Structure 1
Amino acid sequence: MREANAQLVIAALSAQDLQAAAERALIQQKNILALVAHELRNPLTPISMIAGRLARVPSAELPRMQSLIEGQVQHMSRLVEDLLDVSRASTGKLRLDCKILNIVPIIERAIEACTPSMLAQKLHFTSQVPEEQFMINGDSIRLTQILGNILGNAIKYTPPGGIVRLSVTLERNLLVLSVIDTGIGISAQALPFIFDPFVQDVHAVGFNGAGLGIGLTVVRELVEAHGGTVIGMSDGDGLGSEFVVTLPLAQ
């Protein structure tokens, strides 16, 4: 009887733990859905306002209105694509169109795409990219996405006048890409979880609340799908950060 009672107590405690875990998961799911809805709703407000004014806007203003709408639509598209990539990775459906390619032009295109944002932020950008070819077995679109996400984070969380540095080096049979910034840094509490989905450092949200906290999750999944690794480092709040991606060179 004593043994049976002990087993009943253990079972009851286990059931309580399972119920508490389920309740926490439900709360987290609700918070994530609210976050996603909020981020997808934000671009709709300017689109709706512009749509309501189109009939009364002078023809000279139409190109600017078109540009504003396109920018918001692109923002929504990036959010949806990131969400889909996280879903594909979690279900094993993430696919790459890999071929042997020179990664240097891809790096240069990613830098070019991020240059307008860096100029708008008055950031000082430097890059060290060797001129020789570095052949990678990879998906050109996904490789551009990896570097674009990392550079985009550096730009997003570096105050005006700050510094962003990109360097590309070789270590044996590995290509090493490093992005260093003098931005707001990452707290010690958040650092171990920065690649987890929907995780955002508290002081980062206060600095720039935009985004879902899945950009780095997508980076990790894409890098690992290419057989590489990615790590993030920071000495703490206000001390900048560094992200290092290693990718195997094509044999």
Structure 2
Amino acid sequence: MVLTETVPLGRPSESPETTLARLRRLLDVSVALNALGDATRLLDYIARTTTEVLDCQAASILLFDEATGALRFEAATGEAGAALVGQEVPLSGSLAGTTFRENRILHAADADADVRRYQAADAATGFVTRSVLGVPMRIDGHPVGVLQALNPRRAAFDRADAEALLIVAAQAAVAIRNARHEAALRGAHERLAELDRLKTNFMSIASHELRTPITAVQGFGQILAEEVRGDLHSFAAAVVRAGDRMMDVVETIDVMAEAQGELGLHPGGLTALATILAEATSELAPHAVLALPPGPLLVDGDGRRLRLAVRNVVRNAVQFSGPEAPVRVSAEVAHGEIRVAVADRGRGLAAADLDRVFEAYVQVSNPDERDHEGLGVGLTVARAIVLQHGGRLWAESPGLGEGATFHVRLPLAAPGPGGDGAA
């Protein structure tokens, strides 16, 4: 018996109240399917609902397995339902396979006499299939499985049963697709999380392994710089500067490797920000204008990390300013905070890039014309450190070609019993 898909839902012998109750049940199915996210619970619910709505002895869901080229029972109700799950049904020589291959409703009123019946499933479970109504479960018009109802408790399945089964199958197909997408998304997130963990571990190990030889370079370079004269002194000083630069990179890797903004600050007590600003300016921008108020500008925090933040901001200003456009580093104390401004007359920033420059690996200039060194995370790290110390870091610029100013705000700390503190 072949049923078309444009059939009335009601039955001539059925009261309007009964038809309405069945419609409400189908609506409940739609609501429930949208609430279920777990694929196994979803399929079990679909099979149970089919049994209830069609008032039949059992129902089953078979999904197509691309690896084997067969249909496989994923859920089934009835006494033998659990035994069916996992069993395969061929596409040829089965009622379910015919429904899937021909992508249409199939009704076998006398299944025992139908040559297309696949008897192995009944033989394995002891279930006796008398009548089968099956419909394809479609996603974007293409069948992905089959929903079957077996052995109606009434005389026979009719067109109203076929229509109800089609509605459940359509709702189920959408729910299955959504569940698959969610599972794939979860898998991708888990894989990304694992890759991120591996990256973090690698960065931590790399920074640990690099720190010892760089410290040796710095120490021996400093000894040589103090002992030798002439050209050898300038060479040794260059080695010390290179060691300092490498140590900045290691510190940057440490910060980027630490998760969820927890920078692992070292409790260093009071830090003289004036000393950090003077040293960074002297080394990185020797021609810069430095304007600092009297006093050490004490900050309560990790001097090592604050040094890195300041150096990154100053280095950024130098990198994007030409020799004819000097950098100005200034500071003042107001309203219980230290206000630092690092201004340049370089390339400037468009309004849309004022916040983007603090994103990791973002280059607001043309990457093919990159003429500066660095990992591309200097400002990202600087902002993270400043925020960790209860401060703020932001950029201002009149526009492209007009230079930029980076503002740092940090809480001012009162001197402790030990004096002014040190960087």
Q: Same fold (TM over 0.5)?
A: yes
Residue aligned with 2:366, SS: helix
Aligned pair partner of 1:81 in 239, 251, 254 = 251
Q: Matched residues in 2 for 1:239 and 1:193: separation?
A: 18
Residue aligned with 1:152, SS: helix
Q: Give how far 1:71 is off.
A: 5.0
| Segment of structure 1 superposing worse, 146-155 or 10-19 | 10-19
Percent identity between the two aligned chains: 27
Q: Give how far 1:70 is off.
A: 5.3
Q: Give how far 1:159 is off.
A: 1.3
Match of 2:124? Answer: none
Match of 2:392? Answer: 229
The 3 A distance-change label for structure 1 pair 75 and 248 is: closer
For the aligned residues, what is the CA RMSD?
A: 3.6
Match of 1:47? Answer: none
Select the structure that is richer in helix.
1
Aligned pair partner of 1:7 in 157, 175, 188 = 175
Q: Matched residues in 1 for 2:349 and 2:378: separation?
A: 15
Which letter maps to 2:363? Q
Q: Give how far 1:167 is off.
A: 1.9
Match of 2:290? Answer: 127
Q: Give how far 1:197 is off.
A: 2.0
Q: Matched residues in 1 for 2:274 and 2:238: separation?
A: 32
Q: Matched residues in 1 for 2:250 and 2:258: separation?
A: 12
CA contact (8 A) 1:157 1:208 kept: no
Per-residue CA deviations over 1:75-129 (Å, capped at 9, x if unaligned) read 444323311221125473522233134432332222222244x4xxxxxx22321
Residue aligned with 1:194, SS: helix
The 3 A distance-change label for structure 1 pair 105 and 91 is: closer
What number of residue pairs does the alignment pair up?
216
Match of 1:54? Answer: none
Q: Matched residues in 1 for 2:336 and 2:293: separation?
A: 16
Q: Matched residues in 1 for 2:341 and 2:355: separation?
A: 19
Residue aligned with 1:136, SS: strand
Which letter maps to 2:378? G
Tell me: higher relative CO, structure 1 or 2? Use CA pairs within 8 A at least 6 residues apart. Answer: 1
Q: Map of 1:141-156 to 2, 5 A cutoff?
A: 141-156=304-319
Q: Which has the larger radius of gyration?
A: 2
Q: Which runs of 5+ in 1 are unaligned?
A: 34-39, 41-59, 119-124
Which letter maps to 1:231? W
CA contact (8 A) 1:179 1:243 kept: yes
Q: Give how far 1:178 is off.
A: 0.8
The 3 A distance-change label for structure 1 pair 63 and 168 is: closer
Q: Give how far 1:153 is off.
A: 0.8
Residue aligned with 2:327, SS: strand
Residue aligned with 1:202, SS: coil
Which letter maps to 1:214? V
Q: Give how far 1:236 is off.
A: 3.5
Matched, 1:100 2:270: yes
